Amino acid sequence: DAWQSFSSGKWDHSLVLSLHWLHDQPFSSKPAMLASYICTTVEQDYTRATQILKAALVGNPRHPGLTNNLAFALINLGALDEAENLLSSVRMEDSLDSSIVTLLATKGALMFRRGACDVGRNLYLDAIEKARRQGWQKYVALASLYLAQEEILAKTTHRLDATYKAVYEAKQSKDHDVLLLLM
């Protein structure tokens, strides 16, 4: 039900259901992944996401997705050193499927926030290319949107081009969460 609510864009209901699911299955990473994604992407409640993820990592230490989501939340809270320590603990070879794409993008966000915009941009572009090669349009769109956001926040000369590309990629998606970020 949590996933069905998420797929239909019923964010609040999906979050409530995913938290109930997490309560019922505290050692499962799936409800924590969903709840933290809603908190970070939809609600931009990074503090709540951090609380959920720290609790979930007790039962799932070194889980690449949970670690990535926690690092992303911490970056958005300005806790760059803690985020960097977390990201350095994840071995890319342990990452499955789209986790590699999200880890690269999150490392890109960290580099932008550290002021290393060229490094951050290249990490994002690598994530976008990996997602494109796999045919994961949602991840192409998400990474493009977050790249554009970082370019805008950093006030780079690439911000306009990145924004046009992000809008184009996002319009290729039918996912409610991607379209929400586009707004």
pLDDT of residue 94: 54
Q: What is the DSSP letter of 165?
A: H
- pLDDT tens figures, 57-114: 999 998 999 999 999 999 999 999 999 999 999 877 655 678 899 999 999 999 999 9
Tokens of 84: 């960097």
Q: What is the DSSP letter of 93?
A: G
pTM over 0.95: no
- CA-CA distance, 123 to 30, in Å (whole number)? 26
Handedness of CA 136, 137, 138, 142 (dihedral sign): positive
- CA-CA distance, 145 to 149, in Å (whole number)? 6
- pLDDT tens figures, 132-173: 999 999 999 999 999 999 999 999 999 999 999 999 999 999
Tokens of 160: 């306009």
Taking residues 173-178, what's their average pLDDT?
91
Tokens of 126: 């690598």
Taking residues 106-128, what's their average pLDDT?
98
Tokens of 131: 């997602």
